[in-house]
C-alpha cells in the first residue's frame, strides 16, 4: 500500500512538474509574441514617420521672407558715418556675462548730428537646446537703452531652431559729434540661456554746411537665409538659391547723379558665392569676411548700375547661411544736371508754331515717383519740382 501511495505521489509530482513546464513555455511564448508585436508597431511607426520627415516644412524661415524695412529716406547737405568699431564675435554669452565694444567717432568739423542709431546684431539665442528670444540689457556710455525696433527671424522647424536678429536703438540725444563711445550688452535671461553677439554697428547721419547735397535711404532688418546643399547639389534645408534673395532696397531715382554709394551689412556670411544683385547686374563676393567673418560690411560705388525710375537691389545667398541686416544708399545729386533737365522740360513745353508755353500740371509733377518726401524746392535758385514716394514691398 505504501508502495502504491509512493508511486501515486511520484506520478503527481511528475505531472505538476510537466504542468509548470507547459505554463512557463506558454508564458514565454506570450512574452515573445508581445515583443514581436511591439517591434512590428515600432517599425510601422518609423515607416509612417519617414514621409513626414521628407516633406518640406509648411513655413521655412530659411527662404527670403523678410525684406529689409526703410527706417528713413531724406535729402540733406551732409554725409553718413558707419562703423562696427572694435566689434568681434562673442561666442556664447551666458547670464551675467557682458560684451563690450568701443567706437571712435570722427565727423567733419562744423557738422551737426541729424540722427544716430545703434545696431545690436545678435544670433544663436537659446535656453538649453530650445530656441528663445534673448533678454539683454544694453548700455551706451553708461545709459541704458530700449530698442526702438526689433527685427528677427528663425528657421521655424526641426532642431537648432534658434532665432537671430537686429535690434536698433535711437541714440541721437547721446551723440554730439566726434569722440570715443562705449557699448555694453549683458545677457539677463534665465540660467540656462545664452546668446551670441555678432557685433555692434554705429550709424550717424550728419548735416554739414560744406557737405555734399545727398539723398539717402536707411534700410534695416534681419532675414535669415540658407541655401546650403549636399555633395550632390541638393538643398539641405528645403531652400534653393532662387528662394534666398532678400530685398535690400527698392529706390526710385532720377538720373544722372554724381555718385551712388551702397553699404551692405550681413551677419554670419564669409562665403564668396553670395551675391549682390543690382537691377540686371550680379556682384559675387559681397561677403568676403571683412572686417571679420561674422559681421561682414561691404561699401561700393554702384553709380554705373542704377537707372532712372525704380531700381532693384537684392542680396542672394548661394549655398550659404547668412543674415542680411542692413543696407544704406547715399546718392550725391548733380545740381547742374537738374538745371539742364529743367531747362529741357521748359523748352519741350513750348510750341514751335505759336511760341506759347503749354500748361504743365503741378499735380502731375508732384506725383512723379522719386523721392521719399514731396519737396516744393530743392534749391531756391533752381526752383525744380521733385516728389514721390518710395513704394516698399510688404
> Across residues 160-189, what is the average pLDDT?
98
Task: Quote the CA–CA distance of 188 and 127 in Å, as a whole number.
Answer: 12
Which three-class secondary structure state does DSSP give residue 121?
strand
Instruction: Assign 56 a pLDDT band (cuts: 50, 70, 90).
Output: confident
Helix ranges restricted to H, 63-175:
none
Task: Quickly tell me which residue has 537691389 as its cell.
Answer: 313
Which three-class secondary structure state does DSSP give residue 205?
strand
Predicted confidence at residue 7, as pLDDT, reads 41
Report the run of H or E that residue 123 belongs to, with start and end: strand 112-127
Q: Report percent pLDDT > 90 for the chain.
A: 69
Predicted confidence at residue 42, as pLDDT, reads 54
Q: How far is CA 298 from CA 46, 144, 223, 311, 324, in A?
A: 48, 30, 17, 19, 11
Give me the residues paired with residue 211 across strands.
none
Q: Is there a contact between 183 and 100 (Cβ–Cβ < 8 Å)?
A: yes
> Across residues 299-308, what is the average pLDDT?
97
Stronger pLDDT, 2 or 71, i.e. the higher one: 71
Q: Which three cell numbers stand for residue 58?
A: 509648411
Strands (E), 251-380: 252-253, 259-267, 275-278, 281-284, 291-292, 295-301, 309-310, 313-316, 321-332
Nearest 10 degrees: Cα torsion 248, 253, 259, 263:
-10
- For the chain, what are the domain ranges? 69-336
> Across residues 156-169, what is the average pLDDT?
97
For the CA atoms of the chain, what is the radius of gyration?
Answer: 34
Query: 369 CB contacts (<8 Å, ≥6 apart)?
Result: 252, 309, 310, 388, 389, 390, 391
Predicted confidence at residue 360, as pLDDT, reads 33
Q: Which three cell numbers stand for residue 153?
A: 527671424
Q: Which candidate, 25, 28, 5, 29, places its Cα nearest to that of 17? A: 25
Average of per-residue pLDDT values in the chain: 82
2: pLDDT strictly greater than 50: no
Instruction: Assign 57 a pLDDT band (cuts: 50, 70, 90).
Output: confident
Instruction: Assign 272 a pLDDT band (cuts: 50, 70, 90).
Output: very high
User: Check: CATH 2.30.110.10 for 69-336?
Assistant: no
Predicted confidence at residue 376, as pLDDT, reads 35
Instruction: Assign 188 a pLDDT band (cuts: 50, 70, 90).
Output: very high
46: pLDDT strictly greater than 80: no
Predicted confidence at residue 16, as pLDDT, reads 54
Task: Quote the CA–CA distance of 37 and 60 in Å, as a whole number.
Answer: 37
Predicted confidence at residue 349, as pLDDT, reads 55
323: pLDDT strictly greater than 80: yes
Q: Which candidate, 242, 273, 279, places its Cα nearest to that of 260? A: 279
Q: How far is CA 209 from CA 108, 112, 212, 330, in A?
A: 10, 9, 8, 17
Instruction: Assign 296 a pLDDT band (cuts: 50, 70, 90).
Output: very high
Nearest 10 degrees: Cα torsion 292, 295, 300, 303:
170
Task: Quote the CA–CA distance of 206 and 169 in Å, as a whole number.
Answer: 17
Task: Quickly tell me which residue has 504542468 as its cell.
Answer: 19
Q: Is there a contact between 187 and 135 (Cβ–Cβ < 8 Å)?
A: yes
* Per-residue pLDDT reduced to its tens digit, 221-266: 999 999 999 999 999 999 999 999 999 999 999 999 999 999 999 9
Predicted confidence at residue 345, as pLDDT, reads 54
Stronger pLDDT, 340 or 257, i.e. the higher one: 257
Q: Which candidate, 119, 118, 124, 120, places its Cα nearest to that of 93? A: 124
**Greatest CA separation found in the chain?**
153
Q: Please, how many CA atoms are within 13 Å of residue 314, restricted to the half-sphere of its CB?
A: 19
Predicted confidence at residue 260, as pLDDT, reads 98
Report the run of H or E that residue 26 belongs to, with start and end: helix 2-54
* Per-residue pLDDT reduced to its tens digit, 194-210: 999 999 999 999 999 99
Instruction: Evaluate the CA torsion angle 282, 283, 284, 289 in order and state its sign.
Output: negative
Give me the residues paired with residue 29 across strands.
none
| DSSP assignment string, 143-161 | EEE--SEEEEE---SSS--
Helix ranges restricted to H, 183-291:
none
* Per-residue pLDDT reduced to its tens digit, 9-32: 554 445 555 445 445 455 556 556
Predicted confidence at residue 52, as pLDDT, reads 36
**Lowest mean pLDDT across 138-152, 213-227, 325-339:** 325-339
Amino acid at each position: 500500500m505504501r508502495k502504491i501511495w509512493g508511486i501515486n505521489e511520484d506520478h503527481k509530482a511528475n505531472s505538476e512538474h510537466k504542468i509548470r513546464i507547459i505554463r512557463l513555455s506558454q508564458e514565454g511564448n506570450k512574452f515573445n509574441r508581445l515583443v514581436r508585436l511591439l517591434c512590428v508597431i515600432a517599425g510601422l511607426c518609423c515607416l509612417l514617420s519617414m514621409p513626414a520627415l521628407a516633406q518640406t516644412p509648411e513655413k521655412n524661415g530659411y527662404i527670403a521672407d523678410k525684406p529689409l524695412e526703410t527706417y528713413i529716406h531724406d535729402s540733406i547737405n551732409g554725409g553718413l558715418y558707419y562703423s562696427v568699431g572694435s566689434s568681434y564675435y562673442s561666442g556664447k554669452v551666458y547670464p551675467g556675462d557682458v560684451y563690450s565694444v568701443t567706437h571712435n567717432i570722427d565727423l567733419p568739423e562744423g557738422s551737426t548730428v541729424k540722427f544716430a542709431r545703434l545696431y545690436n546684431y545678435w544670433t544663436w539665442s537659446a535656453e538649453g537646446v530650445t530656441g528663445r528670444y534673448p533678454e539683454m540689457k544694453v548700455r551706451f556710455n553708461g545709459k541704458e537703452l530700449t530698442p526702438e525696433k526689433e527685427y528677427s527671424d528663425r528657421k521655424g522647424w526641426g532642431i537648432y531652431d534658434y532665432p537671430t536678429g537686429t535690434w536698433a536703438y535711437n541714440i541721437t540725444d547721446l551723440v554730439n559729434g566726434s569722440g570715443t563711445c562705449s557699448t555694453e550688452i549683458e545677457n539677463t535671461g534665465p540660467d540656462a540661456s545664452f546668446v551670441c553677439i555678432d557685433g555692434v554697428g554705429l550709424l550717424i547721419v550728419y548735416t554739414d554746411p560744406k557737405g555734399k547735397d545727398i539723398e539717402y535711404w536707411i534700410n534695416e532688418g534681419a532675414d535669415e537665409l540658407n541655401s546650403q546643399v549636399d555633395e550632390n547639389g541638393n538643398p539641405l534645408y528645403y531652400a534653393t538659391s532662387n528662394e534666398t534673395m532678400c530685398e535690400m532696397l527698392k529706390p526710385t531715382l532720377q538720373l544722372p547723379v554724381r555718385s551712388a554709394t551702397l553699404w551692405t551689412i550681413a551677419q554670419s556670411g564669409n562665403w564668396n558665392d553670395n551675391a549682390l544683385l543690382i537691377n540686371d547686374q550680379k556682384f559675387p563676393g559681397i561677403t568676403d569676411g571683412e572686417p571679420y567673418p561674422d559681421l561682414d560690411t561691404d561699401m561700393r560705388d554702384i553709380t554705373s548700375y542704377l537707372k532712372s525710375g525704380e531700381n532693384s537691389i537684392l542680396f542672394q545667398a548661394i549655398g550659404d547661411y547668412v543674415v542680411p541686416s542692413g543696407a544704406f544708399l547715399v546718392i550725391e545729386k548733380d545740381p547742374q544736371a537738374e538745371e539742364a533737365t529743367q531747362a529741357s522740360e521748359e523748352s519741350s513745353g513750348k510750341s514751335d508754331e505759336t511760341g506759347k508755353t503749354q500748361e504743365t500740371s503741378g499735380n502731375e509733377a508732384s506725383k512723379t515717383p522719386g523721392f521719399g518726401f514731396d519737396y516744393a524746392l530743392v534749391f531756391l535758385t533752381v526752383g525744380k519740382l521733385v516728389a514721390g514716394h518710395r513704394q516698399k514691398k510688404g
